[in-house]
Chain A
Amino acid sequence: DAGVIQSPRHEVTEMGQEVTLRCKPISGHDYLFWYRQTMMRGLELLIYFNNNVPIDDSGMPEDRFSAKMPNASFSTLKIQPSEPRDSAVYFCASTVGGRNQPQHFGDGTRLSIL
Chain B
Amino acid sequence: SQQGEEDPQALSIQEGENATMNCSYKTSINNLQWYRQNSGRGLVHLILIRSNEREKHSGRLRVTLDTSKKSSSLLITASRAADTASYFCATDAGETSGSRLTFGEGTQLTVNP
8 Å CB contacts to B: which residues of A88-104?
91, 93, 95, 98-104
> Which A residues are CB-close (under 8 A) to B42?
4, 91, 93, 105-108
Nearest Cβ distance between residue B40 and chain A, in whole angstroms? 8
> Which B residues are CB-close (under 8 A) to A48?
98-100
Contact B100 A99 (CB under 8 A): no
The verdict on A14 contacting chain B, using a C-beta distance below 8 Å, is no
In the complex, A95→B41 CA distance in Å? Answer: 18
The verdict on B48 contacting chain A, using a C-beta distance below 8 Å, is yes
Nearest Cβ distance between residue B111 and chain A, in whole angstroms? 22
Contact A31 B99 (CB under 8 A): yes
In the complex, A48→B33 CA distance in Å? Answer: 18
The verdict on B31 contacting chain A, using a C-beta distance below 8 Å, is yes
User: How many cross-chain pairs have Cβ atoms below 8 Å apart between A and B?
Assistant: 55
**Besides A48-B100, A99-B92, A108-B41, 10 other CB < 8 A contacts?**
A31-B99, A42-B2, A42-B103, A91-B43, A98-B99, A100-B48, A100-B50, A100-B92, A103-B101, A105-B42
Chosen A-B contacts, 26 in total, with CB atoms closer than 8 Å, are A4-B42, A42-B2, A42-B104, A43-B88, A43-B103, A45-B100, A45-B101, A50-B99, A56-B100, A95-B99, A98-B98, A98-B99, A99-B30, A99-B92, A100-B50, A100-B92, A102-B33, A103-B43, A103-B101, A104-B45, A105-B42, A105-B43, A105-B44, A107-B40, A107-B41, A107-B42
Closest 5 CB pairs of A and B: A105-B42, A102-B45, A98-B99, A43-B103, A105-B43
Q: Give chain B's interface residues, CB within 8 Å of chain A.
A: 2, 30-31, 33, 35, 40-45, 48, 50, 88, 92, 98-106
